[in-house]
Amino acid sequence: MRALLAKEWLELVRSRRLLVLCVVLLFFGILSPLTARYMGDIFAMMSESMQGIVIQLPEPSIHEAIVQYLANFSENYPLAIILVAMACIVAERERGTLAMVLARPVIRWQIVLSKYLALLGMLLIALALGGLGALYYSIILFGGPAFVDFLLLNLAGALYLSVILALTVLASTLARSTVAAGALSLGFWLTLSLVGSLPGLRGWLPPALVTQAAELGLGSRPDVWQAALVALTFIGVALAGACLALQRQEL
């Protein structure tokens, strides 16, 4: 298992996927407080040049910065995760490298778990960088949020993204091509978002973690445990499904 994990990590570094994800998340992390602070000024300048049009935006505040930052967790970040993780298993099966590994004394669930853990490590590092960028500019521009609140916000958001990652690994195991894995991952994500917005399910499915993360960032302490437990169950079921699917596959 250690050998598999070390290989996965080295591949993420050498293929520059770690670097790309860090740059993307840092960019969006920094952009969020900047957008919240200067969007009003940009629109004001635009309204001056377009006579008769008046654009009214709320007064820039830390609330706006957090809303902007959290929008990434439900829009840009899942997409970035799907793009970097969708090939993780299917591409190895297509190229034939998986058969070379599985002809050795390796248990198939170890493949799934090592890929998920390495990708999760990459996600957490990129998220930490993006979060630090967002926190730094939020403090400079708005004087907040409190570090603990921001940390809790990111932990809740990271748990939601971990679900997306697990579903992407499952899609990569089930699909017969990388493109199909990407499409299936998008399908999982969109379905989860859609079902998570249904009345009655809204409070406890994984997408609720993003809403609850906003409250955590603003100093409230909502009850996140229900959604967190469901998210962990989703991760467990998705990974177990991936292990089972790989176990049944012939190479």
Partner 1 sequence: MSASAISCQELTRRFDHHLALDSLCLEVPEHSVFGFLGPNGAGKTTTIKILAGLIRPTAGKAYVAGQRVSPDDIAARRAVGYLPEEPAFYGWMTGREYLIYAGRLLGLGAGAHGRADELLQLVDLAEAGARRVGGYSRGMRQRLGIASALVGRPPVLLLDEPTSALDPLGRRDVLALIERLSGDTTVFLSTHILADVDRICDRVAVISRGRLLAEADQETLRARFAAPAFEIELAPAPGPAADLLKTLAAQPWAASVEPVDNTLRVMATDTDSARRALPVLLAPLGEQLLRYEQVRPTLEDIFARLVEQSEEETL
Distance in Å, CB of 93 to partner 1, minimum: 10
**Contact pattern from residue 1 through residue 30 relative to partner 1, giving x for each residue in contact according to CB under 8 A and a dash for the rest:** -xxx-xx--xx--xx---------------
Residues within window 138-167 making contact with partner 1, judged by CB under 8 A = none
Phi-psi region of 16 (alpha: psi -120 to 50; beta: other; left: phi over 0): left
Distance in Å, CB of 182 to partner 1, minimum: 21
114 vs 162 by CB, closer to partner 1: 114
111 vs 224 by CB, closer to partner 1: 111
Query: What are phi and psi for residue 55, nearest 5 degrees?
Result: -110, 125
Of 96, 119, 90, residue with least CA distance to 178:
90
Q: Are 205 and 230 in contact (CB under 8 A)?
A: yes
Choose, by CB under 8 A, the member of 53, 99, 140, 229 that binds partner 1: 99
Residues within window 103-122 making contact with partner 1, judged by CB under 8 A = 103-108
Residues within window 190-249 making contact with partner 1, judged by CB under 8 A = 247
CA distance linking residue 187 with residue 189, whole number of Å: 5
SS (H, E, C) 141-182: HHCCCCHHHHHHHHHHHHHHHHHHHHHHHHHHHHCCCHHHHH
Residues near partner 1, by CB under 8 A = 2-4, 6-7, 10-11, 14-15, 95-97, 99-108, 247, 250-251
